[in-house]
Amino acid sequence: MTSATPFVSFESRATKLSKHRVLVPALLALAALVLTGCASPNRQPEGERAQQSGSWSDEVRQEYEKASSPEIKEALRDGVISDQEYAEMKQRYAACLSAAGIALTKYDFGGAVLNQPPSMTADETHNNLTRCSDDSGEWPIAYFYLQMRVNPSNKDLRQAMIDCFKRKGLVGPGYGVKDYEAGDIPSSDDNSVTSCTTDPEGRLGG
């Protein structure tokens, strides 16, 4: 017998990079409160640095320079997360969780579902998720893979989220940025909330 656990991965590290960005849907409440800036990347000799370009290059370089795994560094090296690199990360993540006794039964932009033995404590589950996320590159590869598709110009998407909430009838006409910044966001499990928070401009075709 197993029990289901919602997707709880990489939220603490997302706050270090994100400034009004869109996060994985299971982190909706946190996403509304993520209003801090990005840390400056550590400097390394030129020969050891990645050759990234594009709107997310600074954030990618920061994570590249912190990464120790060759697979993670290779995925981040050119500043673009390909479909293949994302798929390979998911395979590594699922294999790591499986070895720890946790089955990853769903993993996509809509969130993830994890099944673990009833005997596994919440702390053990959290520790396994964090370790496997680190070892597989789930953080930061999944984060950048999503962001580069829903927010390619790396811009402030708060107003886009608010407009999406209004279009879908999730908030009233007077709802604004101050309400969003105060953490007053729709708490419904409706797919509309996930859609607005994940992809407010509809770039994924939802």
Tens digits of per-residue pLDDT, 29-53?
A: 333 333 223 333 344 443 344 555 5
Residue 204 domain-assigned (yes or no): no
Tell whether 203 is covered by a domain: no
Residue 79 lies in a domain: yes
Residues of the chain scoring pLDDT < 50: 1, 4-49
What CA–CA distance (Å, rounded) separates 168 from 189? 14
Phi, psi of 46 (to 5 degrees): -55, -40
Do the domain assignments include residue 127? yes
134, part of any domain: yes
pLDDT at 110: 74
b/e code 72-103 from CB counts within 10 Å (16+ = b): bbebbbbbbbeeebbebbbebbbebbeebebe
C-alpha to C-alpha distance for 67 and 88, rounded to whole angstroms: 17
Domain tally, the chain: 1
**pLDDT for res 98:** 98
Task: Establish if 206 belongs to a structural domain.
Answer: no
| 72 within domain boundaries | yes
Q: Is residue 205 part of a domain?
A: no
Cα dihedral 85→17→186→106 (10° resolution): 20
DSSP state of 57: H
184 lies in which domain range?
A: 3-198
Say what the pLDDT of residue 3 is: 52
